[in-house]
Structure 1
Amino acid sequence: MAPFLDEKRIDNEDACAALDTHGTLRSLAMAGAQVRQALTLSQDAGIERVAGGERPRSVLVASLGGTAVICDVLEMLAEPGSPVPVAIRRNLPLPGWVGPLDLVIAVSQSGRAAGPLALAAEAARRGASLLTVGASDSPLADVCARARGVHINVGNDRDGSRTHLWSMLAPVMLAAGQIGIADVDAAVLADVADRLDEHAEACRPSSESFVNPAKVLAVDLAETVPLVLGDGPLNGVAASRAASMLARTARMPATFGELPDAASQIVACFDGPFTTAFSSSSAGASGVAAGDIFADPYLDGPMPPRLGLLMLRDAVPEDPSPEVAEAEALTEAVVESARETGVKVSQVTAEPGHPLVRLAGQIAVTDFAATYLALGLGLDPAVAPHVADLRSGRR
């Protein structure tokens, strides 16, 4: 049976504040400010000195956990026209080809994450250029200083990497623009900050659930087993982030994919046990198909959870190319197939702008939605007891 989301709680600012002990909503609302502070800190650190002011032979980026999406964002923005290859690593070993002509970017909010720290240390030993982003008083900062690289401080009052993504992503994007592997500069990041502010205003706690896009999405997702699907590379990155936030923040298991590659595996689920397409005879022990309006919960038992599709869509230009039109047709086909089989469909469409600006809006809405979903379910978005047990070694 589907979990119960208390809409009254997410519309009550005091109730949200009492449950949100680490101020997750407040931190998400400050994403625009994070970008602006990161710009200042990057300039103060001399980000123009990255890789000696020259374009490196290659770039390798390492980030984990709440900042793992940074790797994906850089790869996505650099891929179409980067003059140098961009690689991703989460942990050792550092590829054998990394040497003095290459740049390694290591990101860790605490500056102590084992993977990025080990990769940075090995890169420094080989004489590669270093850009590190994290706490100023950390082993990662020390490694960077000894290698005469550029270290960007993430600033103060950082509770968790999931809610302070932009303080670490912005310096990496600025550096990518500086060395010419992505079309990003300070002006683009200023637009990112403005877009994040717009969504923070629309998704604020005082905005009631029937007009707040993040609360509407949270209510929809609470009733489902969510599949998150992006309509292309940009929203593929957003889908990965959304699935991570749903799992880590709202404790809702979610899978994600990107069109066109993931179309078959997503659509195949429409024939599964969480849709009306699944016959009653094989709907499980209760014999009740998901979404069966004639089911009697007293006689037939509780209904199984319903499959949900969260479709993340890009802004479509006024005069789309044949490739864009084909991708849009595939997206519509998947959505229509979902609706025909009783899948609950939710859609978030990006507003026009630079790719990083569009991505920022998609991430903002789904980040807020995952947080409201946690609060509506009675969960503290930042406190997961089993995760704490793992970190303390009790399990």
Structure 2
Amino acid sequence: MAPFLDESLIDDVDAIAERDSRQTLRALATAGAQVREQITLSREGGIERVGGGERPRSVLVASLGGSAVVADVLELLAEPGSPVPVTVRRNLPLPGWVGPLDLVVAVSLSGRAHGPVAVAAEAARRGASLLTVGAPDSPLARICTAARGIHIDVPHGRTSSRTALWSLLTPVMLAADGLGLIDCTERALMEVADRLDEQAEACRPTSESFVNPAKILAVQLAESIPVILGDGPLNGVAAARAASMLQRTARIPASYGELPDAASQIVASFDGPFTAGGGRGVGERESAPDIFADPFLDGPAQPRLGLLMLRDVAPEELSPEAAEVQELTDAVLQTAHDAGVRVATAVAEPGHPLTRLAGQIALTDFAATYLAIGLGLDPSVSPHVADLRDRRDRALG
């Protein structure tokens, strides 16, 4: 049976407050403030001294869970022009080539996540330079301090890595810019902060569902099995983040992909059992749903496949490669429409690549939260996750 979203819940400020027990929406709305705050804290923490102020031979980033997107963003921005390789590692083993000439970045909101802490400890043992971001007076902070690295504190009050993304990401962006790995100055980050503020204003709880872009998107994604597709590397990162937020926050299974590589595997699902064609293929779409159908007599409707296409702003002049991807994106969307897939599209606003990405992430973060609330769920509390954590803790001793 398809889940039912109650639109009245996401337009009722009191109902939102009742279900959002840890104020997830408020925390998401602080994203712009997080950027500005971390610029200041990074300066005070000596961000310019990362790696001794010298460009490393390579950079390795360790982040996972709600922090995983930090590594993805740095890898994305560094790929076009970084003079040194940037790689991602979620846990041990640390690659054998990491040594004193390399920089290891480890990110964990609590400063206790096993993967980043273990990677930082091994990097310190090998004499690599360290940059860590996380809670003060945590195992991660102590490892970094002992290794004479740079640790940037995340202020108290940030309770979830899902809602503290920009507190974790900003210091890493500043360090990478200072080392000449990416182009992301303080001015660019202030632009990011402004875009995040604009999205927070547009997606605020008091904005009604017929004009609030995040609430509109939540309604579009409801009663579906969502697939999130990015039209290139930038929106591929946004798609991964959106799928993670839908699963952790709205408790909706979601998959994601990036064009052009994921086109075939995504389109293949359009003639499966979760589209209007019911597995009969494109071009054999069934008639419109029977408005007189009784779910108690005829059985509940099964959830339908939903496609969320995240698109970048079109440049004034398209390269041949970009034009090819744009044509492929249009073809995928048309194929989805023909197959009876529920389709939603979010197009980035112009700006620095990180600004465009920030807008897409903010929109889908808010949408996942409103979807949870509309389904009658608390976006920040998952009993099964808590149960899993308890079981793991007991198993470890």
TM-score by length of 2: 0.95
Deviation string, structure 1 residues 60-90 (Cα, Å, up to 9, x no partner): 0000110011111110110111100111100
CA distance in 2, matches of 1:147, 1:126: 10
CA distance in 2, matches of 1:336, 1:155: 46
* Contact 2:227–2:255 (8 Å) recurs in 1: yes
Q: Which residue of 2 aligns with 1:304?
A: 302
* Contact 1:69–1:237 (8 Å) recurs in 2: yes
Deviation string, structure 1 residues 215-266 (Cα, Å, up to 9, x no partner): 0000111121100000000000000000000000000000000000000010
* Contact 2:59–2:87 (8 Å) recurs in 1: yes
CA distance in 1, matches of 2:287, 2:177: 49
Identity level (%): 70
* 2:251 pairs with 1:251: yes
Cα–Cα, structure 1 residues 11 and 258, in superposed 2: closer, same or farther, change >3 Å?
same
Tell me how far 1:4 sits from its aligned partner. Answer: 1.0
Tell me how far 1:292 sits from its aligned partner. Answer: 3.4
Unaligned runs of 5+ in 2: none
What residue identity is the alignment partner of 1:368? F
Tell me how far 1:289 sits from its aligned partner. Answer: 7.0
What value does the CA root-mean-square deviation take over the aligned residues?
1.6
Q: Which residue of 1 aligns with 2:75?
A: 75
* Contact 1:243–1:254 (8 Å) recurs in 2: yes
Deviation string, structure 1 residues 184-238 (Cα, Å, up to 9, x no partner): 1101110000000000000000000000000000011112110000000000000
* 2:107 pairs with 1:110: no
Q: Which residue of 2 aligns with 1:315?
A: 313
Deviation string, structure 1 residues 97-118 (Cα, Å, up to 9, x no partner): 0000000000000100000000
Q: Which residue of 2 aligns with 1:284?
A: none
Deviation string, structure 1 residues 293-338 (Cα, Å, up to 9, x no partner): 4672355322211110000000001222222111111000000000
Q: Among 323, 331, 334, which residue is 2:332 paired with?
A: 334
* 2:141 pairs with 1:144: no
Q: Which residue of 2 aligns with 1:9?
A: 9
Q: Among 353, 356, 367, which residue is 1:355 paired with?
A: 353
**Aligned-partner SS, 1:312:** strand
**Aligned-partner SS, 1:55:** coil
**Aligned-partner SS, 1:61:** strand
* Contact 1:275–1:291 (8 Å) recurs in 2: no
**Aligned-partner SS, 1:204:** coil
**Aligned-partner SS, 1:163:** coil
Q: Which residue of 2 aligns with 1:292?
A: 289
Cα–Cα, structure 1 residues 104 and 226, in superposed 2: closer, same or farther, change >3 Å?
same
User: How is 1:208-219 mapped onto 2 (pairs within 5 angstroms)?
Assistant: 208-219=208-219
Deviation string, structure 1 residues 341-393 (Cα, Å, up to 9, x no partner): 11010000000111000000000000000000000001000000000001111
* Contact 2:271–2:279 (8 Å) recurs in 1: no
Size of the alignment, in residue pairs? 389
* Contact 1:297–1:303 (8 Å) recurs in 2: no
* Contact 2:196–2:359 (8 Å) recurs in 1: yes
Cα–Cα, structure 1 residues 123 and 279, in superposed 2: closer, same or farther, change >3 Å?
closer
Unaligned runs of 5+ in 1: 282-287
**Aligned-partner SS, 2:309:** strand
**Aligned-partner SS, 1:131:** strand
CA distance in 1, matches of 2:301, 2:9: 25
Q: Which residue of 2 aligns with 1:285?
A: none
Please say which of residues 293-302 and 81-90 is displaced more in the overlay. Answer: 293-302
Tell me how far 1:92 sits from its aligned partner. Answer: 0.4
User: How is 1:182-261 mapped onto 2 (pairs within 5 angstroms)?
Assistant: 182-261=182-261
CA distance in 2, matches of 1:289, 1:304: 15
Q: Which residue of 2 aligns with 1:125?
A: 125
Deviation string, structure 1 residues 264-305 (Cα, Å, up to 9, x no partner): 010001000011222589xxxxxx979634672355322211
Cα–Cα, structure 1 residues 149 and 290, in superposed 2: closer, same or farther, change >3 Å?
farther
* 2:85 pairs with 1:88: no
Cα–Cα, structure 1 residues 304 and 168, in superposed 2: closer, same or farther, change >3 Å?
same
Q: Which residue of 1 aligns with 2:387?
A: 389
CA distance in 2, matches of 1:382, 1:225: 21
